[in-house]
Structure formats: structure tokens, C-alpha cells
Structure 1
Amino acid sequence: MLRPYHFDPSRGDHLSRHIALMVERDSRIPLAMQLRESLRNLVESGTLKPGTRIPSTRQLAVDIGVSRSVVVEAYDQLAAEGYLTSRRGSGTSVAEHTGGQAAASALAPPTEEPGADAMWDLRTGTSNTIDFPRAEWLRCATAVINEAGHQELGYAPLAGVLHARHVLTGHLGRVRGVRNRPEDLMITSGFAQGLALVCRVLLDRGHTALAVEDPGHPGEREFIATSGLRPVGIPVDEDGIDIERLGASGARAVLVTPANQFPTGVRLSRERRAQLVAWAREVSGYVLEDDFDSGLLDTTDRPPALQSLAPDRVVYAGSASKTLAPALRLGWLVGPSELMASVEHVRAGWDIGCSGFEQLTFARFVDTGAFDRHQRRLRTEFRRRRRTMLGHLDTQLPGAWPLGGAGGLQAYIRLPPHIDEQALVRAARRRSVLLRGGRHYRASTAASPPALVISYATANCAALSRSLTEVGAAYREQLDRHDGSAQPSM
């Protein structure tokens, strides 16, 4: 039976005929979870605006006929996720920057930005969706639907469909050396949900900070802060994250991209890998390994996952966003049993799992070898694009040079010290090219050498040639301005 509660979001507890909050008493879903999801949807849809007062726990419990503890549990969870804010004497209201909005905006590229109508977009955060293997994916999806029985059409286990977890376990072990069991693998709604779950477990265990690489993903720093943890930037050099600085930070957990550091492309050295594992064991902490683009790295020169060195201290995270499409919302977490039990406990209060059909389609896609073939095609294409980009450096950006290895979706281009990074970015935008400078990715406010980060995820070789020619023209403007200012006055 549905019992609606009507309220006016702009006037606290006053009645309204326009918004209904409902709980279904006959549902298998706990009342607190129903209430939490209903409120979260109202916030994420914009129906409940930031700053809007909502009913007190006591009042809402009376109005919808549930115990107050049900409402308290729902409010506490939404507050922990950043959706609600409670202040003594002021009641509970929608947070000014909600967890859902932060999750959507922080880890995804902006949908609107000055110059977003430019001809070429070389900013990071995009994926090569043009080459999505539609025909092969459709064949796998059709087979899954045709073969689906009662079990496949029902609710999947919270951690994921068991068959999909078995297939993914075998795949990760084969291509990345990940040491795991299906019981310790969870399929998530992309990397973002996996990160949110780990952050919540760390909070529950008394952590106050999560160390991150600097430079690194600015959206992840924002996302971590929204979760309630303090992101602590740790410098990255040519060997990866600085372990000594990590040890001095006081953090007991760190998020790293060891195979292909984002955005510099440097690889965590063998010595640093051993030091990082030793640090995690010394502080009884955890390393969250984001293996976001390993499928696009050259297989002949790709290190095994860091997790293979310390399955008891490393939580391995990956997704299909860069190799297939972000729209699939398919990700995975692999961690030690005791930690994954806590992750599953937290998730039980958030949702009831991902789409079973998509999990089984992906499992079939992997099992038939289609995933390996698709990634091989992508690696070939991205090698071609990177060669095109590097070939333009000497002619269009003389004096600039790339950091890092030869794989991935972007290149970190170090500029001569006299180049004004932001002026170059603005000049490129005037020539219809969107890109970002190295400063955009840095947590530290200290001065850093000028750089450009150029993504070739969505730009083919022809587009790269044309766009980098325009960047080169903007670059020469900067060089001419510098040379002119360096001339002695007469």
C-alpha cells in the first residue's frame, strides 16, 4: 500500500498538491531505503532546491506513519552523502552542493563551458564512443535476453551477477594479474560509485583524509571532499607518487593511478611500488588503485596491477568507461574480504545493484573474446593518434616535450618556462581549440612549470593535425610576444 506525504519544498512542512513522497509497505525494499531514494531523486531532479527546508524527522515520521528511526536513518545517510545539511536550531535542509550533483559534475566532463561550441575539443574526460562495437554488443545483448530465465530476470545479488563476476575475475587475472575471487569482486555503477563506497567505508573506520596524486583528477578531489574526507595532494615526479611525502601526510589511504598516472602518463616505478605497499602495511591502511585505462596501454610494456603485490592492502578499481562507453555505467571493485564485506554493507543502504542484463551482456562480450578484439583495435588507433600528435610537437610547438610513456588517452606536454600557460589556452580557444593547461590538474597552489594536457580520445588523426596546427599558431604568438618583450629598448 502506498501512503503519500505532500509537502511544499519552499515552505517546510506546509502541504502542497504538487509533490508526493511515498513509501510502499508491501515492498521487499526497506522503508528507510525507499524514503532515502525518494528524497534523493527529488534533490537530484532539482525538485528540491539547494537550501530548501524539509520536515523534521519527527514530523515526517508522523505524517507518513513510520517510526522515527526510519526517517533518522534516511536523513543520516543522505547527510553523509552530501545531500542534506542539519544544523541545531535550523532544522534540516537540502545542501547547497549536493552529493548527487557533485558526483555528476565532479567526475564527468562539463557539458557547458565557454567556447564549448569550438571545432576541436582536446580536453580530458572524454571517451572514444564513436568506435563503440555496436554490432558485437547487440549480438551479445540479444543472446542474453533470448536465454534469460527466471533467475536472470529477477533481482541480481547486490555485488553483481555471479556469472559476470566469475568471468570478470578470470579476465582481470589473465590480463592484469589481479589476484582475487568472485566473492571479493563487486560490480558497480562505474568508478564513481566504487570511489563513493570506499570513501564511506574509510569514514566509518575513522579515516579523515584520502591522499591523492598531484597533479591528478580535479573532479576526484572535489568528489572526495563531498564524501566527507579531506583530499591531500601528494606530489608526483618521473617515478610516480612521492612515498616519503605520502608518509609525512598523516593519511592512511591513498588513491593512485600507477600504470599510467593521470594526467602526466608517468609510471609508478618498481621501487616505488614496493615502497607504497610497505607504507600501506606499516600504517594498516589501503591503496585504491584506479586502473582506468590499462586496456589501452601497450601489452608488451604494461606492468601488472599493483594489487598483485598486496591483495590484502590494495583495492583494485576499473570500469568500462574508457574502453567501451561511460553510458554503460559498468565498473568493478576488488579488495580484501574484510573490506569488501563493509563495502557491501554500505551499498545495501544505497541501491539494490546494477542492471543484470548489462552485466551478463558484458560477461558474454568478454567471454567470446570480443572485448579483447575491441581493445586491440583501440590500442592500434590510439598509437596512430599519439604518433600524429607527437609528430606535430616539433613543428608546431618547438621547445615543448612530452612526459610519461607512450600509451593512454592523453599526453602531458611540458612547455618552455617563458610560455604563459593560460594565455596559450585562451589563444587556442580563440582559434576554436579547447584544451587545458597543467595548472588545471594541480591541487597545490605553488608555481609549477607550464604545460598542456592534450587528449586524443575523440580526435582522429585528421582532426589532431588540424587542431594542433591552430595550437601551433597560438603558440607562435606567445613566442613572438616573448621575443618582442626581450628586445632591448632603443
Structure 2
Amino acid sequence: MAISQTNSPTNFAWATLLEVDAPEPGRRGSRLHDRLARALRTAIRDGRLTEGAAVPPSRALAEELGCSRWVVTEAYGQLIAEGYLAARVGSATRVSWSPDTAPPRPHTRPVPAPSPVRYDLAPGLPDLRAFPRRRWAEAVRSVTGSAVHYDLGLPDPAGHPVLRTTVAQYLRRSRGADAHPAAVSVCAGVTDGLVRTCRALRAEGIDDLAVEHPGWGRLRDAATSVGLRLYPVPVDHDGLRVDDLARTPARAVIVGAAHQFPTGTVLSPARRARLVRWAREVDGYVIEDDYDAEFRYDHHPVAVMQGMDPSRVFLLGSVSKTLSPALGLGWLVAPAATTPALRAANPVAAAPPVLDQLALATFIDRGWYDAHLRAARRRFRGRRDLLVRTLGAELPQARVSGTAAGLHILLHLPSGTDTPRTVRTAAAAGLRVADLDDYRVTDSADRALVLGYGNIGDTEIPAAVALLREALAARTGVRAMDA
């Protein structure tokens, strides 16, 4: 049946519409009405169906195409909804779109793709190449086969009792903590644990929180998201300056006692004792972030502050710096008196997947976690030494600090160095580094970079430092660095 329609283009090949959008041989096509709508939309955009032209009645086009009328009415309805067609009662359905009536596309300059990262000296990651895949997979297989039916039900928001017991035992023997399973909550990481803690503090009437300066911005953001007011407290070579803390209205403070980020300082014994006294005096709390404290290279890892007064110290930890942040597994040890408030303030808190929790418990109980940490310490100690030696040879005017522990160091640059430009120049060359100012609330005259060595191979360090030297020379001049 030939289609005849007033104002309809007489030379338009209606019968070929579905052929134009036919699927490729061997591949399943989309639904017929979607194909028809797509073919008509293309014809309108290309100008083969112009504004005002009438499209055939649904019954006539269906007969021409050899399909059901429903296919045509669905395609027409879609294009009417998109504004390509207009239907009026008692009149033909017509094309209502043209390039002239369409809104102009915004003219935007193309955004250049970011340079690929060739060498990663940014802090925050362990050696992802060394993740113990085989043993972790074995732990997952083991618990999947041995988990009893009630393990597969709704998880306890505080975490599975098996992992809570394992974490408590591990923290007692390896970190000197005074931890018991009832005080342990399993969480998705340190940030999640801090949010839970801050909610509990607010429920207890504590609205002011002190934070280290400089410090990890994500922890500040987590605290402010709960509604706490923040008071930055400076850090010096002995750690948090407790006398400055005492001059704030804060009754709680976040501190990296064993290894402060990003300065790398360790809270001195005198400051630790003073900080615990402060918490008792103000009837407040210390929130201890046990940041990558397992990696200590000059002697055994420093014990946690929590063991000094478990009634005043919350302890946060995770496996993000020891295994991988992708696991999303951490813990929170709370003072016993605050545990009910902690649970009540986080009624919808969700623990990580139960099988992952049980896998971590198995991984620790079988000694694999300790073995992994021993191997990692040896590897990171050698990598740190190589990085420090290479920096000393290539950038003699720069000074290194914060080398005793952790997975990053500070590189203090000559006065006048434009560190933001250096970071951008290095990134353009494929080297990722971090500016110390990114972790400050206020500017400082100290120009420094934070260099992480967890997620870079030993053989990549000389090339990475060479790129850093070039980035600094582009901003300061080679003579300035060699003088």
C-alpha cells in the first residue's frame, strides 16, 4: 500500500526505515519500536523530514513496514515526548523540530585529558602490588564453606563477634591496647569510625573538636559533616601542642599519636601523659587515629595511647594502609561507658559484609596478617632508604623529615619555591606528588612536598625523582637547587 499524506515528503523512503536501523548480522537488535523511533529521529535531525511535514497515519505506516500498529504508535509517542513530533486532535502528526528551532549547543573548549600517572609518590596507599591475593582468597573460600546459616542473616551493626574478638586480641598483643570484644565495633574504615564517634560525642553534649594542624582533610570533613565545630591545634617536633589545645573550648581531640599525618612526628611520652590529663580535667576524650603505626623502622611500633586510659581514649584503626583500602574494613574501640551512647547515636550504622569480616578474622588468626606486616616492613624500609638516598643525591638543597615510620616523608624545599606549580608541572609529566599546604587550614612559610613511597616500585624511584628534579628546576632554576 503506497502512503499518501498531505504535506508528507513524496520522495521519502518510508518502507526502508527499519532497514536503515537494522541490527548487525549475528547480533541481537533492540526492540522494533525503539529502532523505528531512532530511524525517524535521525531523519528529522538530518533534515530529510523537515519541520511541518506530516508523518503517515500509524495504521498506514504499519502496513507499509509490515509491523503492528502498536510499534508505530509507540515510536510516535516517544518522539512526541521528546519534542520531535507534535500531534493535534483532528490533524496529522507533524514534525515540530528543525536545526533552526533547536537550542544551540553550548560552545565549550575541549577539556584536555589528564596526564597518565607514570610514577605515584602521593601518600595514602600501601604497596598494592604486594596484596596477598592467594592467602586472602583462601581465607574467603574457607569462611564461605564453613560459615553457619545464621552467619548469613542480618549482620550485627557492631560487627561479627568473631572479628571483634580477633581484633581485640590482636590490638592487645601487638599495639598494647586495653581492648575487649564488647568495646570493639567493626566499621568501614577510620573515616566511618570517626563519624560514628562524633555522633556519639554530640549526643553527649560535646560540640567542639580539636584537630591537628596540619592534618588529614578527610577527618576534618567527617567531623564537620556531623555538625562539630573544629579548632586547629599546631603540631611541632613533639607532636600535638597540648598547651595550645587547653586554650580552646574543645572537649575532644583527634590525634595521630604513633605517627602523625602528614608531619610524621611521634607524640612524645610527656605530651601523651599531658594529653590524658587534659581529657580528665575537661571531662573529655581523645580520639586516637592509629595511622600506619605498624610501619616503624627505628624500633618496635609505639604502643597506642588507648592503653594509658581506656576510659578516655577512642581508638580508630583499619587495614587500608596494611592490606588495601578496597577491603573497607576497620575498627573502633570505645570507652566502655560510651558504648551505649555510641550504639544509640548510630542506629542505622552498617558493618561491612559478614564474609569479609570473617575472612579478615581468619587471615589474622592463621598468622598471615603478621607475616604480611613483617615482609612489608622490610620492603618499605629498603624503599624508604632508597628514596632518601636518591633525593639527597638529586636534590641536595632539599631537606627530608618524618622518616622514622609510616609510608611517606616530607621534602622541605628551598624558600621561595612555588609548590603548587611544582605539583602541577610534575603531574603534567606523569608524576603524582602532594603539597603540604593541601593539609593545612592556613598558609605557612614552610614549602614542602608530601612524598608517599607505598605504591611505587623500587626500580621506579630514580626516574620519579629525576622527574621531580625537572619539575623543581622549571620553577626555581637548576642553579637554585644545586647551589
Q: With structure 1 as the length reference, what TM-score do the two structures score?
A: 0.72
Aligned amino acid, residue 388 of structure 2: L
1:395 to 393, 396, 418: 393
2:423 to 421, 425, 436: 425
2:461 to 450, 459, 464: 464
Pair 430,149 (structure 1): closer, same or farther in 2 beyond 3 Å: closer
| CA displacement at 1:478 relative to structure 2 | 3.9
| CA displacement at 1:257 relative to structure 2 | 0.7
Other structure's SS at 1:287 match = strand
| CA displacement at 1:193 relative to structure 2 | 1.3
Matches within 5 A, 1:73-472: 115=114, 117-298=116-297, 300-351=299-350, 353-445=351-443, 447-472=444-469
**Which whole-Å CA distance do the structure 1 matches of 2:427 and 2:418 have between them?**
14
| CA displacement at 1:397 relative to structure 2 | 1.4
Counterpart contact for 2:287–2:314, Cα < 8 Å: yes
Q: What are the ranges of 5 or more consecutive residues in structure 1 without an aligned counterpart?
A: 1-111
Aligned amino acid, residue 218 of structure 1: G
Other structure's SS at 1:402 match = strand
**Which whole-Å CA distance do the structure 2 matches of 1:146 and 1:471 have between them?**
50
Q: What are the ranges of 5 or more consecutive residues in structure 2 without an aligned counterpart?
A: 1-110
Corresponding residue of 1:480: 477
**Which whole-Å CA distance do the structure 2 matches of 1:226 and 1:114 have between them?**
32
Pair 475,222 (structure 1): closer, same or farther in 2 beyond 3 Å: same
| CA displacement at 1:114 relative to structure 2 | 7.9
Other structure's SS at 1:317 match = strand
Residue identity (%): 34
Aligned amino acid, residue 420 of structure 1: D
**Which whole-Å CA distance do the structure 1 matches of 2:113 and 2:244 have between them?**
37
Other structure's SS at 1:418 match = coil
Counterpart contact for 2:260–2:291, Cα < 8 Å: no
| CA displacement at 1:155 relative to structure 2 | 2.8
| CA displacement at 1:139 relative to structure 2 | 1.2
Q: Deviations over 1:137-173 (max 9, x none)?
A: 1111111111111232223332111121111111110
Q: Deviations over 1:200-240 (max 9, x none)?
A: 11122222221111111122222221221122211011000
**Which whole-Å CA distance do the structure 2 matches of 1:366 and 1:113 have between them?**
45
Pair 154,439 (structure 1): closer, same or farther in 2 beyond 3 Å: same
| CA displacement at 1:483 relative to structure 2 | 5.2
Aligned amino acid, residue 398 of structure 2: A
Q: Deviations over 1:32-63 (max 9, x none)?
A: xxxxxxxxxxxxxxxxxxxxxxxxxxxxxxxx
Pair 149,413 (structure 1): closer, same or farther in 2 beyond 3 Å: same
Counterpart contact for 1:238–1:404, Cα < 8 Å: no
**Which whole-Å CA distance do the structure 1 matches of 2:430 and 2:468 have between them?**
9
Q: Which has the larger radius of gyration?
A: 2
Aligned amino acid, residue 195 of structure 1: L
Pair 114,301 (structure 1): closer, same or farther in 2 beyond 3 Å: farther
| CA displacement at 1:479 relative to structure 2 | 4.1
Other structure's SS at 1:249 match = coil
Pair 156,483 (structure 1): closer, same or farther in 2 beyond 3 Å: closer
**Which whole-Å CA distance do the structure 2 matches of 1:247 and 1:367 have between them?**
42
Aligned amino acid, residue 420 of structure 2: Q
Pair 113,437 (structure 1): closer, same or farther in 2 beyond 3 Å: farther
Other structure's SS at 1:300 match = coil
**Which whole-Å CA distance do the structure 1 matches of 2:428 and 2:147 have between them?**
53
Other structure's SS at 1:126 match = coil
Aligned amino acid, residue 291 of structure 1: D
| CA displacement at 1:296 relative to structure 2 | 2.2
Other structure's SS at 1:158 match = coil
Aligned amino acid, residue 385 of structure 2: R
| CA displacement at 1:299 relative to structure 2 | 8.0
| CA displacement at 1:347 relative to structure 2 | 2.5
| CA displacement at 1:113 relative to structure 2 | 11
- Bigger drift between 474-483 and 335-344 goes to 474-483
Counterpart contact for 2:239–2:267, Cα < 8 Å: yes
Counterpart contact for 1:419–1:478, Cα < 8 Å: yes
Other structure's SS at 1:255 match = strand
Q: Deviations over 1:300-339 (max 9, x none)?
A: 3321001111111000010011111112111101121121
Other structure's SS at 2:294 match = helix
Q: Deviations over 1:456-477 (max 9, x none)?
A: 1211111222111111122234
**Which whole-Å CA distance do the structure 1 matches of 2:478 and 2:357 have between them?**
55
**Which whole-Å CA distance do the structure 2 matches of 1:391 and 1:482 have between them?**
20
Pair 420,341 (structure 1): closer, same or farther in 2 beyond 3 Å: same
Q: How many residues align?
A: 372
Other structure's SS at 1:277 match = helix
| CA displacement at 1:480 relative to structure 2 | 2.4
| CA displacement at 1:258 relative to structure 2 | 0.8
| CA displacement at 1:378 relative to structure 2 | 1.1
Corresponding residue of 1:30: none
Other structure's SS at 2:332 match = strand
Aligned amino acid, residue 271 of structure 1: A
Corresponding residue of 1:72: none
**Which whole-Å CA distance do the structure 2 matches of 1:114 and 1:285 have between them?**
49
Other structure's SS at 2:477 match = helix
Note the aligned Cα RMSD (angstroms).
Answer: 2.1
**Which whole-Å CA distance do the structure 2 matches of 1:339 and 1:226 have between them?**
21
Other structure's SS at 2:247 match = helix
**Which whole-Å CA distance do the structure 2 matches of 1:334 and 1:278 have between them?**
20
Pair 299,315 (structure 1): closer, same or farther in 2 beyond 3 Å: farther
| CA displacement at 1:394 relative to structure 2 | 1.5
